[in-house]
Amino acid sequence: MNRRYVVALVAALLIAPSLHGQSIPTPREHFGFDIGEHRKLADWDAMTSYFERLAQTSDRVMVDTLGPTTVGRPFVMLTVTSPDNHARLGELRDIQMKLADPRLLSGEAELDRLLDEGKTIVLITQGIHATEVGASQMSASLAYDLASSDSERILEILDNVVLLQIPSLNPDGLQWVADWYMSHVGTEFEGSPLPWLYQYYVGHDNNRDWYAFTQDETILTVQKAQNLWHPQIVHDVHQMGSDGARIFFPPYIEPWEPNIDPALTAAVSQLGTYMAAELTSQGKKGVVVNAQYDAFTPARAYMHYHGAARILSETASASMASPIIVAPESLGPGRNFDASQRSWNFPDPWEGGPWGLPDIVAYQKAGALALLTNAAKNRRYWLENFYRINERAVNKWDEWPDAWIISEGQDNEPGITYAIRALTMADVEVRRSNDAFTVDGVTFPEGSYVIPMNQPYASFANTMLEVQYYPDLREYPGGPPLRPYDVTGHTLGYLLDFDAVAVDGELNVELSEPVGVPEFDFRLPEHLTGVEAPRVAMYKAWQEPMSEGWQRWVFDEHGLGYDTLHNADIEGGALADYDVLIFQAQSARSILDGFRLGEVPPEYAGGLAGVGAQAVQRFVKEGGRVVAIEEATDFVRDLFDLGISNVTEQLSNTDFYIPGSILRLELDASSEISEGMRDEIAAWYWRSSMAYDVSDARVRVAARYGSGDPLLSGWVLGGEYIAGKPAILEADIGEGSVVLFGFQPNYRAQTMATWPLLFNSIR
Ligand SMILES: [Zn+2]
């Protein structure tokens, strides 16, 4: 593009006509700086008021508050399309709902009319990870262009696409990060890390919540954007590390979870490749496809089970909004490409040098515009492909059973309610039997849940209820296994402790209408209620682990009382007021040392080393109980010189690797930790889990990983190293005691099966 053309275009943007005679405010007029300037971040108040002004001055933009965030800020969605489309938004949504559920169509003639009249529905979500600061900033710039430009390209988008834009999936975090960053710009702490989780409960894990639906922001997005519109395309804009490609687009690498429709896999791959092609054509270097990110866990990819192409983009980060210099020699091999070498999926390498927020915003905006252009130009393809995917689902895949049944009368009612909530929240139709009935010799009582698999979102039900067999991918035939990018198991029956049965054939029973979304049904065990209940403290480091946040969420939902203790509280003697102290998964080094002095402002530096650790020692010796999980058990081991070790510590990850799978756990009935439980249960084991060797007479074993093959669902390499090994330990020390969990009993609020072990350890 030559300079004169750029100037003409900019001039055209500045004098764009507008509604009510008011001009559409540019980002600079509103924020006082250009979006994507070095060292400048707009905060959430400024952004929401900008979107209000866009909505007031442009007849292309509408802004809605979908509800409050976890902390109470407005959670906002923009609807951006042509004025004509705005005038018939209800009709466009009705068309979309029919394409989403082919059972509602009268035939091919109606389909043809809907394909003519419908628009591609695109949802762009930004800023779920608040320290990946570019995307939410970019949203304001993208919205301005769409509101004000009369270029042919923008008009084509507006005519053919209804864009739903959620400028921040995490407004609380955006505000905290913007405040933190802007208050430290120009000081020695510019770009220093935020010393608490940037989503109130779950921090960075907020994009792993797309089947448990625990956080307010997830629920609002699913119920008021995703399920209200069932978009054909969802674009989730992220950032990654600094030392690789400049931007990633799909195709994802293998494996793709097998319940994803093949035409959706192909759609994702064409769209991502198109975006990469546009950016590369514009001369943007360092664009990679088919690298790093796979498509296996539904926890990140709700959309793949709802007919939508999910386009993840990952742009290289700077130091928040501060620029960095990337040394050329730091650009090396990644998964499925090498950042220093040209290849088909990385055709134009970036050679290193300065990188900052202006680059991030430019790449991300170019990506979003490429996506919208593809959505507009191929409108009919997107609509028809979406319809065909849903049609195959309502006709039921051959690979699926005729129905899944969750029998009434099982022990774990709250677990079943949790599962039914997850399925119905995902728009799966779940019915109940109006009578008892028998299939294959098994009788199910009246009121059993039945999920017929001939329905639009059957793929979500199937992946959540079946056992995962992660494919055996090798670096080369006969070679070492390719290690999974993410976790590999998500079978709800194991995670939540209930039985689901796949059946084929006629059911011969009348079924109810689909049930609604139930509330959580959490029940606190009796010993944790009333005046006799132990007084609970949770340690919270300034390097706050996400597992500590997930723990707070589960406790808050159950109404379990607890207090949060920081380093200074423990050092100041606060433990005297408590019976139980919990350390969630966090390394001993992080607990002891925390942030280095100079890394963060002094009030957030340091850990429990010295006075704090001595206070914890004294607490136990004088009658307190410490419960420690995964890596935090190293801290407790060292504190009391326990003769225990982690059997997997010396193993290489080509011999032993469990990235996230569901294993069999054998409980010792004599321990009060297994009170009220069966002898065997499913437990979550992942990268930070441990299995022990014990050589200390003080230490008792309360649970072991399954002997033989411990795997229930997912993928395990070297399971024999932990088979039969201790998983939960107890020891009496002085007047008090410790409980050590080698695995995570509360993995992302998805492992209700093992919550009783955690509650039982709090005494
Ligand atoms: Zn991210």
- Residue 657 is classified by DSSP as B
d(CA 281, CA 430) in angstroms, rounded, equals 48
Q: What spacing in Å lies between the alpha carbon of 117 and ligand 1's midpoint? A: 36
238 CA distance to ligand 1 middle (Å)? 4
User: Is residue 16's pLDDT more than 70?
Assistant: no
Cα–Cα distance between 327 and 243 in angstroms, integer?
A: 8
Cα(43)–Cα(33) distance, integer angstroms: 13
- Find out whether 458 and 260 touch, Cβ atoms under 8 Å: no
Ligand 1: distance of its center to the CA of 271 in Å?
20
Amino acid at residue number 352: G
Under a CB-based contact definition with an 8 Å cutoff, are residues 197 and 540 in contact? Answer: no
Ligand 1 center–CA 240 separation, angstroms: 7
717: closest CA among 685, 694, 742?
685
Task: Tell me, in angstroms, the distance from the centre of ligand 1 to residue 301's CA.
Answer: 13
**CA dist., res. 722 & res. 55, Å (int):** 58
Q: How far is the CA of 73 from the centre of ligand 1 (A)?
A: 21
What is the SS3 assignment for 36? coil
**pLDDT confidence band for 745 (50 / 70 / 90):** very high
Distance from residue 91's CA to the centre of ligand 1 (Å): 35
Q: Tell me, in angstroms, the distance from the centre of ligand 1 to residue 208's CA.
A: 11
> Measured between alpha carbons, how far is 87 from 92 in angstroms, rounded to an integer?
10
3 CA distance to ligand 1 middle (Å): 35
Residue-wise pLDDT for 162-200, tens only, equals: 999 999 999 999 999 999 999 999 999 999 999 999 999
Residues 6+ apart with CB under 8 A from 107: none
70 Cα–ligand 1 center, Å: 19
Residue 2 has pLDDT above 70, yes or no: no
Going from the Cα of 125 to the center of ligand 1, the distance in angstroms, rounded, reads 11
**Where do we find the tokens 């200390």?**
696
C-alpha separations of 508 from 436, 439, 451, 511, 528 in Å: 10, 9, 14, 9, 45
pLDDT at 299: 96
Beta bridge partners of residue 625, listed in sequence order: 580, 737
Q: Please tell me the distance between residue 130's alpha carbon and the centre of ligand 1 in angstroms.
A: 8
pLDDT in tens, 413-423: 999 999 999 99
Cα(711)–Cα(717) distance, integer angstroms: 10
SS3 18: coil
Report pLDDT for 1.
Answer: 39
Residue 204 alpha carbon to ligand 1 centre in Å? 7
DSSP 752: G
Phi-psi region of 634 (alpha: psi -120 to 50; beta: other; left: phi over 0): alpha
Neighbour count for residue 623 (Cβ, 10 Å): 11
Cβ-contact 99, 383 below 8 angstroms: yes
Indicate if the pLDDT at residue 335 is higher than 90. yes
Reference 487, options 715, 285, 311, 305; nearest CA is: 715
Give 133 Cα–ligand 1 centroid separation in angstroms: 10
Assigned token pair, 568:
């200074």
Contacts of 579 (CB under 8 A, 6+ apart): 534, 535, 536, 624, 625, 763
- Residue 21: pLDDT band (50, 70, 90) is low
Q: Please tell me the distance from the alpha carbon of residue 752 to that of residue 724, in angstroms, as a whole number.
A: 22
Residue 545: DSSP 8-state = -
489-528 confidence digits (pLDDT tens): 999 999 999 999 999 999 999 999 999 999 999 999 999 9
Averaged over 51-78, what is the pLDDT?
98
Whole-number Å distance between alpha carbons of 227 and 418: 19
How many whole angstroms from 248 Cα to the centroid of ligand 1? Answer: 12
HEC string for 261-294: CHHHHHHHHHHHHHHHHHHHHCCCCCEEECCCCE
- Give every CB contact of residue 629 below 8 A, 6+ residues apart in sequence: 547, 582, 583, 584, 585, 740, 741, 744, 745
Ligand 1 centre to CA of 147 (Å) is 27
In the chain, the amino acid numbered 540 is: K
Cα–ligand 1 centroid distance for 294 (angstroms): 14
For residue 169, the CA-to-ligand 1 centroid distance in Å is 11
**Rounded to whole angstroms, how far apart are CA atoms 57 and 449?**
50
**CA 361 / ligand 1 centre spacing (Å):** 15
What is the chain's length?
763
CA 79–ligand 1 middle distance (angstroms): 24
Residue 9 has pLDDT above 70, yes or no: no
* Cβ atoms < 10 Å from Cβ of 532: 8
Identify the three-state secondary structure at position 21. Answer: helix
| pLDDT bracket for residue 296 (50, 70, 90) | very high
Determine the Cα–Cα distance for residues 74 and 65; give it in Å rounded to an integer. 6
- CA dist 187 and 750 (Å) reads 41
Q: Which helix (H) or strand (E) holds 114?
A: helix 108-117
pLDDT band at 474 (very low <50, low <70, confident <90, very high): confident
Dihedral sign (CA 88, 94, 140, 233): negative
CA of 239 to the centre of ligand 1 (A): 5
Among candidate residues 43, 28, 225, 252, the one with its CA nearest the CA of residue 133: 43
- Evaluate the CA torsion angle 569, 571, 572, 576 in order and state its sign: positive
| Backbone Cα Rg of the chain | 27
* Residue 224 pLDDT exceeds 90: yes
% of the chain at pLDDT higher than 90: 95
Q: Is the dihedral of CA 22, 23, 24, 25 positive or negative?
A: negative
667 C-alpha to ligand 1 centroid (Å): 37
Helices (H) and strands (E) in the chain, counts: 23, 32
- Indicate the pTM of the whole model: 0.96
Q: Which of 214, 43, 190 is nearest to 130 (CA)?
A: 43
* Alpha-carbon span 81 to 562, nearest angstrom: 48
**Residue 367 CA to ligand 1 centre (angstroms):** 16
CA 267–ligand 1 middle distance (angstroms): 22
Quick one: average pLDDT of 460-487? 92
| Residue 363 φ then ψ, to 5° | -65, -45
User: Looking at 344-358, 465-479, 582-596, which range is the least confident one?
Assistant: 465-479
- Name the pairing type of β-strands 233-240 and 120-126: parallel
**Choice between 267 and 20, residue whose per-residue pLDDT is larger:** 267
Other CB atoms within 10 Å distance of the CB of residue 183: 11
State in Å: Cα 131 to ligand 1 middle: 8
Ramachandran area for residue 734 (φ above 0: left; ψ -120 to 50: alpha; else beta): left
Q: From CA 552, how far away is CA 266, in angstroms rounded?
A: 41
CB 583 within 8 A of CB 536: no
b (16+ CB within 10 A) / e for 583-602: bbbbbbebbbbbbeeeebbe
Q: Which two tokens stand for residue 188?
A: 């020695």
Q: How far is the CA of 167 from the centre of ligand 1 (A)?
A: 14
Residue 262: which residues within 8 A CB-CB, separation 6 or more? none
756 backbone φψ class: left, alpha, beta (φ>0; ψ -120 to 50): alpha
Q: pLDDT-based confidence at 472, cuts 50/70/90? A: confident
Over the stretch 549-593, which tens digit does the pLDDT of each residue have? 999 999 999 999 999 999 999 999 999 999 999 999 999 999 999
Q: What pLDDT, on a 0 to 100 scale, did the predictor assign at position 219?
A: 98
203's torsion region: left (phi>0), alpha (psi -120 to 50) or beta? Answer: left
CA 314 to ligand 1 centroid distance, Å = 7
CA of 472 to the centre of ligand 1 (A): 27
Q: How many CA atoms lie within 13 A of 84 on its CB side?
A: 10
| Residue whose C-alpha is closest to residue 80's, from 179, 172, 177, 154 | 154
Average pLDDT of the chain to the nearest whole number: 96
Distance 128 CA to ligand 1 centre (A): 7
Rounded to the nearest whole angstrom, what is the distance from the C-alpha of residue 28 to the centroid of ligand 1?
27
**Mean pLDDT over residues 23-33, rounded?**
98
CB 588 within 8 A of CB 574: no
- Ligand 1 centroid to Cα of residue 637, in Å, is 34
**What's the gap in Å between 330 CA and the centre of ligand 1?**
21
